[in-house]
Amino acid sequence: MSKIKKENISQFQSNELYIYHLSRDVLNSLELLYFDSLTTEAISPNSIVSLTSKSLEQHNEQLMDNEQSQAISNVCQTCGSKLDGLDVKKSHYKSDFHRFNLKRKLQKVPPVSEAEFDKIIQDLDESISGSDSSSQEDDNDSYDDDKEKRNLETIFEKTDRSLNNLSIQDNEQSVHYLNTKSPFVLFKSSLLSPERCFGIYKSSFDVTELHSNPLEALKNWNSVDQSKKYSALFMIGGGHFAGAIISHNPKPVKGNINGSSGESLLEQSVNIIEHKTFHRYTTRRKQGGSQGTNDNSNGKANSAGSSLRRYNEAALEKEVRELLNSWKNYLINCESIFIRANGALNRNILVGY
């Protein structure tokens, strides 16, 4: 697993990285990594903040509190404007110019200068100047206030649309946590240095979990009792079979040390409930391939060797299916069943019978 920062190395051990029994510190530190189509790290589409008046006002108040509490220099951290005096600061934070840049900041878009903002207002005012009725001009003061408010609201609406179109729609099409070009879903963590990450095999998740929210699935796994949950592994090919039932509840390894064979604490914690291997002579020497496949392609041979291989194929199938039946109670409670079976004949021994 990934190497961690030296200052954080005591926060968890390797055996705490069992995906069904993650420590709280590790679990709470995880965040999905998103990538574009070129596998360059990108911003999650979900991180784009909704540009509502309420969220904008809340963010603005928080920004003012932070800057006042931290005694920051007389420069707005959003607009870059120089602010001399408390009254100037308060006036600036309430200005349309600041609110406009605050919306851009929330969407991770660079701010505009005051001159650029005035140009936007002017262009918008010219574009809608002919749309107002003459009856509105009777009350000039009220009309001017309403007009300015509508102008600003129109700018915000256009900002919402343009930023959302650029950020959300494009990201949804090209940015995704599955764009890793690897078997893993990747997670960054505050417990790791920025260039490191955790990875979990995509095959650990079912289709719904993988395409909805793997992080939520991971949290759910760690919130339920795993003592009666299992995963099964089966491999078959060339007359060889291996199978195992693995408990999602790891073995305690507290006080253990790394084994003399180089077995890590994480490997020692794997709780193998059942395991079995079989081997039968079923492949045609030097020529390769199973006897059954050759019979289907070229017709049945009548040699002693071919007869023995047919018998062994049938015996292997019988042994494997009897084993699966004896493990039925475990298989019913399996969250995942992983199968590696080359060829249709081998797959048919395990499934579809």
Active site residues: 291
Beta-sheet strand order (sheet of 30-32): 30-32, 184-189, 198-201
Residue 48: phi and psi, rounded to 5, are -70, 125
Whether residue 350 contacts residue 339, with contact meaning beta carbons closer than 8 Å, is answered with yes
Per the CB < 8 A criterion, the answer to whether 126 and 93 are in contact is: no
CA separation for the pair 35, 29 (Å, rounded) = 19
Provide the 8-state DSSP code for 75. B
Which is nearest to 18 in space by CA: 264, 298, 306, 299?
264
CA dihedral (212, 213, 218, 224) positive or negative: negative
For residues 247 and 227, give the distance between their C-alpha atoms in angstroms, rounded to a whole number: 7
Helix, strand or coil for residue 246?
A: strand
Q: Are 189 and 26 in contact (CB under 8 A)?
A: yes
